[in-house]
Amino acid sequence: MNIWAKRAALAVVLAGGLGAVGASCTNKAEQLEEKHEQGALGASADLKALMAARGLSEADVEAALKTYTPTGKKDEYLIFASGGHSGQVFVIGVPSMRELKVIGVFTPEPWQGYGYGDESNKVIASGGQGTHSFGWGDVHHPSLSETKGDYDGQFLFVNDKANGRIAVIDLQDFMTKQIVVNPLVGSDHGGAFVTPDTDYVIEGSQYPTPLGRDYAPLSDFKEKYRGLVMFWKFDRKKGRIVPEQSWGIELPPYSQDLADAGKLVSDGWAFLNSFNTEMATGGTLQGKPPIESGASQNDMDYLHVIDWRKGEQLVAAGKATTLKGIRVLPLGVAAQEGVLTFIGESKSPHGCDVTPDGKEIIVSGKLDMHATVYDFAKIKDLIANKKFESKDAYGVPILAFKDTIRGQVELGLGPLHTQFDDKGNAYTSLFLESKVAKWSIKDLKLIEKLSVHYNIGHLLAAEGDTVSPDGKYVVAMNKMSIDRFASVGPLYPQNFQLIDITGDKMRLLYDMPIANGEPHYAQMIKADKLKPLKMYTPAGYNPYTGGHDPNAVEGGKERIVRKGDTVDVYMTAVRSHFVPDQIEVNEGDTVNLHITSVEQAEDQTHGFTIDMYNINLSLEPGKTENVTFKADMPGVYPFYCTEFCSALHLEMTGYLLVKPKNAK
C-alpha cells in the first residue's frame, strides 16, 4: 500500500466530518496529503505510529477514546466510593476515572481544614464511644439518598465498621455534617443502606457482642452475645439523623453481613444475610480451629427477612425496651410478631441485593458456585400464612428454602455481590476467579464472564442498585493489583476497573489505581443530579451550623475584643491580606479566632494557619470558621494563607505575638 493510500486511510478516520470527504480514496489521499503539509492533520498522520510506539491494540484505542476526557469536558457520572480504613470517601468521575475529591469523614483532613476548627472538631468529637475518641474509621458502604427508590443527589451516608458509626455528608458542599454512634454494637457492616424514600438509614452489626458491649465471657456467647439491626430515622429538612426517633431489632449472635432495603413491591421490608450461624469463637492459641473453619461447618446460614414497617408499629406501640438510650425490639417479640423471619442461604454468603423491580433478592455464598434468586411474593405469602419449616435456637421462624426461591444460577468460584443494568441483566463479582459474571435474571442463564485484575470484591453499575439502573458502566473494585502498576512499595494500590456494558460483550476500558485506601462498596450517580454550591453567599456562612455565623464580620468591621484573659479576633480574609494582620496576646490567654472569607469569586479559596499552633483552616469563598486556642507558648508566630490565592499570596501573612508572663 503506497503512502497516499495510507494517508487517506488515516485522514478519513480523523477528518472533521465525512461529508467533506471526496468520492475516491486516492483523490482524497492527495487532498489530505496537501492538507497535512499545511499541518492541518498533524494528529492523523501520527496515529498509526502512536499505536506502534505505545503498543496499543485496536481495543486499546477504543478504550482510550471511550474514557479520555479532554480539558473542559466534564464527566457524565460520579462515583462515591468508601475509603475503607482511610476513614474517608472518594469522589471519582466516570468515564475518565479521575479522583475529583477526597471527603474528610471519620479522619481529620487538613487541606479541607476538617478536624482543625471548632465546628469540624465537634463533628469528629461527637463520634466518640464510651471514654474513647477516634481519629479514623473503617468506611464500608456508601448510600446515596433516594426518592422513590432512585438517587436524588442530596445526601450520602456511610458506616464505620470499626466503631459502629454512621456519617451524614451533605452533597451541597460535599462536607460531613454529622457522625452518629451506635452505643450497642461492636463492628457494624450491613450499612449504610437507605429505605426508598430515605426515611431510614439501615445499620446492621457484624461481630456479636453483648448489646451495649458490657463484659461477658465467651463461654456465655450464646446466652449473652447478640446482633442488632438499627433503623436510623433521617430528617431530610434538617439533613440530620434523629437518634431519638430511631430504633433497632435484637438479633441472634450470628455475624450479620450485608443488608439491602426492599423497594416498590417489597418496600417496607429489609433483607440482611449472615455467616457464622455456628457461633464459632475460635481459640487458635489453645489449638482450637480458627473462626474461618468453625464458621464454615453448616451448609446453610440464614437470610434475615425483616418487616420493618411492622417493627416500626410495634416500637411505636411501646413493645421496645430502651438500652443506652436506644429503643430495641427484643428478639422474642420480633420473632413472635413476624418482624423477623429466616430463610436458609448458601454458607458464608456475602452479597444480598434486591432487584430493581423489588420482586427478588439475590444472594451469593462465597463458598458456593451459585447465585440464589429469592422470590419476595413467595416469602411474603409464606410469612402471612405462617408456613414455617422450623425455628432456630432463638425461636426465629424459618421458611423452607425450596419454597422461597425461583432458582439458582451457576456463576463460578467465589460469587460475592450483584448489580443490575437496564436490560434485565445482573452482574456478579467472582472473587476467587477474578471475573465479572453477566447473567440473565429472567432466564437464570450465565451470558459471559470477563477477567478482572485481581480478586474483585464489590462491583457497581451506573445507578445499578436503584429502581432504574442506567446500564452503560460497571466498575470492578479489585482488592489486588499485583502486576498492574509501577511499583510503589509493599503496600499496593487497589484497582478499580471500568467496564463498558453497552455492547453485546463486556469490554474492559480502564484501570484506576486507588492510592489512599481500600474501598469496599461504591455507588455511581448521574453527575447532573447533583447541584453543589459554588460558594457560600452571602459571605459569613457557617457550613456546619448551616446558617450565617454570628461571629462573621464584613470588611471594615474587623476588630479585636479582649475580656479578661479571653481575646476574640474578628478577622476577614481577601486577596491578599488578613485584617487584622497583627495579633498580640499574653501568655495564657484564650484566643477565639473568627475568620470570614469575604471573597465572592468561584474557586477563590484561602487558607489560614499559625506556625507552631497546630491551627489550619480552609476558607472557601464566603465561609466563616471559628477556632479557639490557648496562647500557652510565648514567642513570635507568623500566620499566613495556605492556599495559593494570587500573585501576592506569599505576602498574605501576619504575626501572632504571645507576650511571656515574665515580660516587662
Please list every residue from 98 through 117 that binds a copy of itself, using CB under 8 A.
98-102, 107-112, 115-116
Give the C-alpha separation, 366 to 348, whole Å: 6
- The single residue among 79, 82, 84, 180 that binds a copy of itself, judged by CB under 8 A, is 84
Q: Which is nearest to 361 in space by CA: 411, 423, 312, 404?
A: 404
**Is 259 or 399 the residue whose CB approaches a copy of itself more closely?**
259
Residue 66 CB, nearest approach to a copy of itself (Å):
7
Residue 146 CB, nearest approach to a copy of itself (Å):
21
3-state secondary structure 331-377: HHHHHHCCCEEEEEEECCEEEEEECCCCCEEEEEECCCCEEEEEEHH
Under rule CB under 8 A, residue 367 binds a copy of itself: yes
What Å distances lie between residue 618 and 541, 548, 623, CA to CA? 13, 17, 9
- The single residue among 35, 530, 545, 568 that binds a copy of itself, judged by CB under 8 A, is 530
**Is 22 or 424 the residue whose CB approaches a copy of itself more closely?**
22
- Name the percent of the chain in helix, strand, coil, to the closest 5: 15, 40, 40
Handedness of CA 304, 309, 310, 313 (dihedral sign): positive
Q: Going residue by residue from 143 to 182, which x/- string records binding to a copy of itself, judged by CB under 8 A?
A: -------------------xxx------xxxxx-------
Under rule CB under 8 A, residue 83 binds a copy of itself: yes
Residues in the chain, total: 664
Note whether 246 and 178 are within 8 A (CB).
Answer: no
**Which residues between 244 and 263 bind a copy of itself (CB under 8 A)?**
255, 257
Q: Stretches 246-254, 318-326, 397-405, 512-520: which one binds a copy of itself (CB under 8 A)?
A: 512-520
**Is 338 or 634 the residue whose CB approaches a copy of itself more closely?**
634
**Which residues between 580 and 639 bind a copy of itself (CB under 8 A)?**
580-582, 584, 602-603, 605, 607, 609, 611-614, 616, 618, 620-623, 632-638
Note whether 441 and 450 are within 8 A (CB).
Answer: no
Residue 575 CB, nearest approach to a copy of itself (Å):
8
Burial class (CB in 10 A: 0-12, 13-18, 19+), 532: exposed
Write down the residue that cell numbers 503498543 correspond to: 55
Residue 450 CB, nearest approach to a copy of itself (Å):
12
- The single residue among 31, 64, 319, 389 that binds a copy of itself, judged by CB under 8 A, is 64
- The single residue among 480, 545, 568, 628 that binds a copy of itself, judged by CB under 8 A, is 480
**Is 316 or 601 the residue whose CB approaches a copy of itself more closely?**
601
What Å distances lie between residue 259 and 91, 170, 565, CA to CA? 23, 23, 54
- The single residue among 31, 33, 56, 565 that binds a copy of itself, judged by CB under 8 A, is 56
SS3 274: strand
**Which residues between 386 and 425 bind a copy of itself (CB under 8 A)?**
414
- The single residue among 38, 57, 322, 385 that binds a copy of itself, judged by CB under 8 A, is 57
**Which residues between 633 and 662 bind a copy of itself (CB under 8 A)?**
633-638, 640, 642-645, 647-648, 650-655, 657-660
φ/ψ of 71, rounded to 5, equals -55, 130
Give the C-alpha separation, 155 to 145, whole Å: 5
SS3 31: helix
Under rule CB under 8 A, residue 663 binds a copy of itself: yes
- The single residue among 442, 483, 563, 564 that binds a copy of itself, judged by CB under 8 A, is 483
Under rule CB under 8 A, residue 444 binds a copy of itself: no
Cβ neighbours for 583, distance < 8 A, ≥ 6 positions apart: 560, 567, 569, 591, 639, 654, 655, 656, 657
The three-point CA angle 95-506-468 to 5° equals 65
Q: Stretches 50-58, 118-126, 260-268, 332-340: which one binds a copy of itself (CB under 8 A)?
A: 50-58
